[in-house]
Structure 1
């Protein structure tokens, strides 16, 4: 029979013994003072919590009012969709919630007031009964093709913020792209860029060239006429003016995407000029 150690006894009655000792040594006044201090600390903690909650709600309300309905709807649907993706394995871990928050904090450079709002939206999304299909249907009805591209781009950014990306998550991202009516070419352009960023091993120059072809959605060795055609198409789709109505942070996402597209085109143009 395996020997099992006995657990050390707790001290459930220690507080009662302390009160009795204070009563014996200091009388009723000392005991009353202690009770007063305990109640004061308890009420102070409750008041501080209420004040902070009130402050946060005021910050959230003020920020929401400062933004357009389109912006607020876009962010709300984005967060709900990200949470549904995290629930693909049946649960959402703290790390997955942290990744979503960090995405808004570091990728989109949200301020503290904006992050209060994001945290509230995540809490609501975690208990929402809305299905992923209904969220995507609403998104498709309310937003044109270019915002859908930005949504898919952001989904891949969040997925690849994690140390590992499961096949189930990648398949779900592809299904989302299909549901939103995003062409196979555009889906491949987005997904391939992030997959390429995950791979390592090849000479730096070769990796760089492959990356630029991938950004333009082309296979290595494509003709310069194909490169120009891809560049023109992507430049029209990701022009920042087409998503400016979503808010400054998403306009910046489009601007960063345009920088990638321009850099890829200029790099490959120089290669063909040699």
Structure 2
């Protein structure tokens, strides 16, 4: 087994099986001659078999989050029928920032294989939502909007694809609209981010801010690795900025 496959196998758990495992096998096989998903170590194969026998609920690791990002990113990038270099650059840059250049290069090599594969978004999302926390799934949606906006505008097809992914991940419309508003410069974006109407009272505004700050606090992502905290902080900061903007408009201290 190649060093690349060993690197991948060491960092993932639930993603070794199911539809995601099949995608990984295809992607690795595209640049590792004769490779298949069965070429992981004996210990990892045993882990998969035990998981399937006992229907054990395995929680996401940093590696699982990484693989989920790669696969869903490829779906969004292809949503408008073309692969934009700026979007590819965004994915690479984001991975370099999170993991460092060496690990990011390995991830992007894998991504080049994934993006060639036809993917069942529904099946992939079903596998992700069984193991990944709600906070982690919200972070995935935030990242996908960042990719879509990398070329300056979120196209209709990209937004529709992200919405479909959000539905499959059981992200409700309130949470989806909140994250979406973080990437649109509209007059009511701040209110959408806090999931309230413009007619909300000042007390309702404060209550909404406390609720959203708690929901999007970076500590919610501790389970999937420190490398993802930066993205969570960015999302959390947008909640704070939305609150400050509305307070300023209303003359609140």
TM exceeds 0.5? yes
The aligned residue for residue 93 of structure 2 is 102
Q: Is 1:128 matched with 2:128?
A: no
SS of the aligned residue for 2:66 comes to helix
**Contact preservation (8 Å) 2:76, 2:158:** yes
SS of the aligned residue for 1:160 comes to helix
Structure 1 spans left out of the alignment, 5+ residues: 1-53, 200-206
The aligned residue for residue 47 of structure 2 is none
**Contact preservation (8 Å) 2:68, 2:128:** yes
Which structure has the greater CA radius of gyration?
1
The structure-2 alpha-carbon separation of the partners of 1:84 and 1:63, relative to structure 1 and needing over 3 Å to count, comes to: closer
The aligned residue for residue 209 of structure 2 is 231
2:227 to 243, 249, 257: 249
After the TM superposition, which residues 18-97 of structure 1 pair with which residues of structure 2 at under 5 Å, given as runs? 57=3, 65=10, 69=13, 70-97=61-88
**Contact preservation (8 Å) 1:213, 1:220:** yes
The structure whose residues are more often helix, as a share, is 1
Which sits farther off after the overlay, 172-181 or 253-262? 253-262
In the TM superposition, what whole-angstrom CA distance separates every residue of 1:104-137 from its partner, at most 9, and x where no partner exists?
A: 33xx444211221221221231233441111111
The structure-2 alpha-carbon separation of the partners of 1:116 and 1:243, relative to structure 1 and needing over 3 Å to count, comes to: same
The aligned residue for residue 150 of structure 2 is 161
The aligned residue for residue 38 of structure 1 is none
Query: Under a length normalisation based on structure 1, what TM-score does the superposition of the two structures give?
Result: 0.64
**Contact preservation (8 Å) 1:76, 1:121:** no
Whose RCO is larger (CA < 8 A, sep 6+)? 2
Give the drift of 1:102: 2.9
1:175 to 164, 186, 194: 164
- How many residue pairs get aligned? The number is 204
The aligned residue for residue 252 of structure 2 is 273
Q: For 1:259 and 1:250, how far apart are their aligned partners in 2? A: 15
2:194 to 204, 216, 219: 216
Q: Is 1:150 matched with 2:129?
A: no
RMSD: 2.8
Structure 2 spans left out of the alignment, 5+ residues: 14-60
Q: For 1:95 and 1:186, how far apart are their aligned partners in 2? A: 27
